[in-house]
Structure 1
Amino acid sequence: MLCVNGKVLKRVRSSALALLVGLGAGCIALPAQTTTPHATFDGAKALAYTHSFVTETGPRFNGSPGLAKAQSFLKSYFAKDQLQDDTFTSTTPAGPQLMHNFIVRFPGKRDGVIVLATHYETNYWLRDIPFVGANDGGATTGLLMQIASDLRAHPPQGMSVWLVFFDGEESVGSQWTDADSLYGSRHLAAKWQADGTLSKVKAFLLTDMIGDKSLDIQRDTNSTPWLVDTVQKAAGQTGNGAYFFKETNTVSDDHMPFVKRGVPCVDIIDIDYGPNDSYHHTAQDTLDKLSAHSLTISGTVIEQTIRLLDNGASSGSPAGTR
């Protein structure tokens, strides 16, 4: 799921600056968070969707029966929604591979689109171990499924909300490179740029590895500052500020093809998974490592972020044109 300083195990560069500053300054009084009324996201249901998805599909690397099951699972769940199967072929180190992105559209009443995204597949190069990606691809799939349930019950009154499930985020080979990674997002960003769709996207929120019981979402320096600040504001308003942006990293993820095209993006990601990141890209990335509480926090903040974007609560003025 990640490339960090050229390593496939992580797509980030960590900074301990905040920790060092805190240690040097001693005890610092932090301002109290201000909470505002908001709906609490049902993380238990998101976790139940995650359990169903992961147990029914298992490993989901390209060409596997599990990936075909995952695609059928998503098609079935979103059958009554505005679902698009975006099919394409990518040239990979393992040869040409057929891939499927899924886009689910919930129309709003105002111009503009907010995209919520995840990837859903697992690593081809880990195909010889029982790697099911419970947190890495599974938890955020369950999260977006529950957000879809909320959108069905309460259709968008502002901008449209589109859910995107990317195929081919992971590298096919064991070494993460720009050419061997992010196949689905690179394809879709180029396609949307060519057909004019990209100009409609006012905010792109990527979710990744946020079902971990020990939730600690880092600030990504590749993300758009005003959109990161909007997420931070949403976290504070919902009483979840302690779980967000205490550390800073530089992440290469599915938002990057959109960042490079000028789309406001934020990667909502917890890249430290297990003691010393020991669960990441291993057979230990299993359902017992996940938490409904973490999914509640993540979903609540994301849905509050949508409300803030609809209210124009950012320096980026997402309701207007870029």
Structure 2
Amino acid sequence: MELLVALVGFLGLLPTALAYGAVSDATLRGLPGPGADFDIDTGALLAPILRPRVSGTEGSRAVLQHFVDFFRGELPEWRLELQNSSSTTPTSKGQPVPFVNLVATRDPPNAGVGDVGRLALVAHYDSKLEPAGFIGAIDSAAPCAMLLHAARTVDKALTKKWAAMAAEGTDDLEDKKGVQILLLDGEEAFKVWSDTDSLYGSRALAEEWENTFNPAASTYKTPLDSIDLFVLLDLLGSRGPTVPSFYKTTHWAYKHMAQIEHRLRDLGLFKSSPNHPLKIAKRKNKNKRKEPLFLNEAAKENGDFYGGYIADDHLPFLARGVEVLHIIPSPFPHVWHDITDDGKHLDMDTVEDWARLVTAFAAEWMDLEGFFDVQTKPTAEVTGKSEL
């Protein structure tokens, strides 16, 4: 991604019809962390991604196979699709480079083609060509691992929810919501970032989905139309990030995620927090310190949106009318596009906190309260709290 500032127009109204159910404090406490799966040397989710994976190389193919093996082995109910394209690049000497996007989808059972609106959770998995040996831990190996963890965590709860709906005879189209994990190839420029040397995979996928039509009687005309919200994670895993709210039409979703962050911090579940119980226990002064929020613009008002954005994989979708929540720090972490962006320079408390936050957001979006294997309290205990 490159930092760009442009004036953009905002169209449409805030989505008011989407169901969004808060989860209880007990559910937040019970959501599993990634634990050893995020170990940078041996972790089953993260370690295989921490390698050079330039598009079209053996490293890229190995990481893609890691994703495929994960879903086939652990989440067999998810439908996998590989979307292929190719393009010449400034460094390919006229030869086409292959780009492969992985699309993993979990829809309600018996849902018709084109009848499901989806939450899309997105990250790119390719790494930069230069400097030689570049790993790209925040950019974006760690975000990819976060999405795998989120998918695994909500999977059984989705199964239980849909089974309960079917048993009660309430599985109608009004609650036909699904979730997608999009792992995109070719985000990085091969030479110098430009409209043609960047976003190879996302440009190809957005164009294909715009021109793929569902059956005539479908609720959604195209796969692109079925995306209710496109949540893009990038550059996550360094200590002390601050993520702006970029788009007025999705500020409501930003506020929901920010509210979850506040609750996780209040519950002592954010490992990077200076007020995490383990950190307080090690200090002589036990007084609470000010919380450094990841999502620090929840109080932003409509008049405070000035049209700035960061160029990233969401742009081809945004240009086609898809609603986007871009989760990327500004300013960028100091390791951005530097050889030091490797596993050893990840702040693992921050990585785990992002994984927990994104998972909880997906759980609330999919209205999964009561379907996790934890002892939960009534949702009313949390929904009555004041919003940000």
Shared fold (TM-score greater than 0.5)? yes
- Match of 2:149, SS? helix
Does residue 226 of the first structure (1) align with residue 252 of the second (2)? yes
What residue number does 1:299 align with? 355
Q: Assess, with a 3 A threshold, how the Cα gap between structure 1 residues 46 and 260 changes in structure 2: closer, same or farther.
A: farther
Match for 1:53 among 28, 48, 54?
48
Does residue 285 of the first structure (1) align with residue 344 of the second (2)? no
- Match of 1:299, SS? helix
Tell me which amino acid in the other structure corresponds to 2:104: V
Deviation at 1:199, TM superposition (A): 1.5
What residue number does 2:273 align with? none
Deviation at 1:107, TM superposition (A): 1.7
What residue number does 1:83 align with? 80
Q: Would you say the 8 A contact 2:240–2:294 is kept in 1?
A: no
Q: Which structure 2 residues correspond to residues 105-120 of structure 1 after superposition, within 5 A? A: 105-108=105-108, 111-120=116-125
- Match of 1:266, SS? strand
Q: Assess, with a 3 A threshold, how the Cα gap between structure 1 residues 51 and 199 changes in structure 2: closer, same or farther.
A: closer
- Match of 1:192, SS? helix
Does residue 44 of the first structure (1) align with residue 44 of the second (2)? no
What residue number does 1:185 align with? 202
Q: Assess, with a 3 A threshold, how the Cα gap between structure 1 residues 179 and 150 changes in structure 2: closer, same or farther.
A: same
Deviation at 1:176, TM superposition (A): 1.0
1:97-135 CA-partner distances (Å, limit 9, x unpaired): 1110001111236831110010001113x1x52201111
Tell me which amino acid in the other structure corresponds to 2:59: G
Q: Assess, with a 3 A threshold, how the Cα gap between structure 1 residues 221 and 45 changes in structure 2: closer, same or farther.
A: farther
Deviates more, 1:235-244 or 1:209-218: 235-244
What residue number does 1:320 align with? none
- Alpha-carbon distance in 2 for matches of 1:41, 1:203: 24
What residue number does 1:256 align with? 315
- The structure showing larger relative contact order (alpha-carbon pairs under 8 Å, at least 6 residues apart) is 2
Unaligned runs of 5+ in 2: 7-21, 162-174, 213-221, 271-290, 368-388
Unaligned runs of 5+ in 1: 6-11, 14-33, 312-322
Bigger radius of gyration, 1 or 2? Answer: 2
Q: Would you say the 8 A contact 1:49–1:146 is kept in 2?
A: no
Greater strand share, structure number: 1
- Alpha-carbon distance in 2 for matches of 1:306, 1:267: 15
Deviation at 1:228, TM superposition (A): 2.3
Q: Assess, with a 3 A threshold, how the Cα gap between structure 1 residues 208 and 66 changes in structure 2: closer, same or farther.
A: same
- Match of 1:160, SS? strand
Deviation at 1:220, TM superposition (A): 2.6
1:238-275 CA-partner distances (Å, limit 9, x unpaired): 3378221359962111111111111111111124455x
Deviation at 1:161, TM superposition (A): 0.8
What residue number does 2:138 align with? 135
Deviation at 1:304, TM superposition (A): 2.9
Q: Which structure 2 residues correspond to residues 1-322 of structure 1 after superposition, within 5 A? A: 2-5=1-4, 36-37=24-25, 38-39=27-28, 40-45=31-36, 47=38, 48-49=43-44, 51-55=46-50, 58-79=51-72, 80=76, 81-93=78-90, 94=92, 95=94, 96-108=96-108, 111-124=116-129, 126=130, 129-155=132-158, 157=161, 159-173=177-191, 175-195=192-212, 196-221=222-247, 224-239=250-265, 242-246=293-297, 250-272=309-331, 274=333, 277=334, 279-310=335-366
1:49-102 CA-partner distances (Å, limit 9, x unpaired): 4542234xx211123221121122122212234211111112322342111000
- Alpha-carbon distance in 2 for matches of 1:69, 1:310: 31
1:138-163 CA-partner distances (Å, limit 9, x unpaired): 10111111112113332264621110
- Alpha-carbon distance in 2 for matches of 1:300, 1:62: 29
1:194-219 CA-partner distances (Å, limit 9, x unpaired): 11111211111111121223333333
Aligned length: 276
- Alpha-carbon distance in 2 for matches of 1:255, 1:245: 21
